Amino acid sequence: MTSGLADELGYHHSTGGRTHRAIRWLGGTRAGAWTFAHTLRHADAVVGRLTRGRHSAPSICTGLAVLTLTTMGRRSGMQRTTHLIATPRGNALGLLGTNFGQHATPAWARNLESHPHATVTYRGVTREVLARPATSAEAEAVFAEAATFYPGYRSYRRRVCDSRQIRVFMLESATGPHDAQNS
């Protein structure tokens, strides 16, 4: 059930067409994940400029809802932004720190561990959020739900299970549902 933060943002996933589903499948392969990990950030810069920030390369390629997470850098103290696919769960959004199945934990996850206050933006709507580590039950539920719209998460999890713990975060509204509606 989608409610809370996802509803405030208008955030939801679609099943996508054949091409989108094929690209999602490709992203779960080693070659596809490597390609995405090394090219999407650069493609995002171009797509962002061309669409004035309305779209991202992953959203166009996969047909998935991609939000922008802005964190504070744990070492630099500067704002850092990244595009991520979130999983609506109750009043929160779940984030999986899979890093395309690579062995390193993504920087955004380490940033959230150091500075849990962040913002998320989706289609021009921005909300302040507070991140917390997911409980074991929440993490399993987020993985299960996320795999229904992006099967690559299963592959990523198998690929890194021996080298690191995948961090899972729950993003909750920092201002509460009533304040957020009035902003």
Using 50, 70 and 90 to split pLDDT, how confident is the model at 176?
low
Q: For residues 105 and 167, is the Cβ–Cβ distance under 8 A?
A: yes
pTM for this prediction = 0.84
**What is d(CA 99, CA 108) in angstroms, rounded to the nearest whole number?**
10
d(CA 147, CA 139): 12
pLDDT digit string, tens, across residues 59-106: 888 888 999 999 999 999 999 999 999 999 999 999 999 998 888 999
Q: Would you state the structure tokens that stand for residue 110, as one six-digit string?
A: 């380490």
Q: What are phi and psi of 22, to 5 degrees?
A: -65, -40
Q: What is the pLDDT of residue 183?
A: 39
CA distance 125 to 9: 6
Domains of the chain: 5-182 (2.30.110.10)
Residue 19 token pair? 């091409």
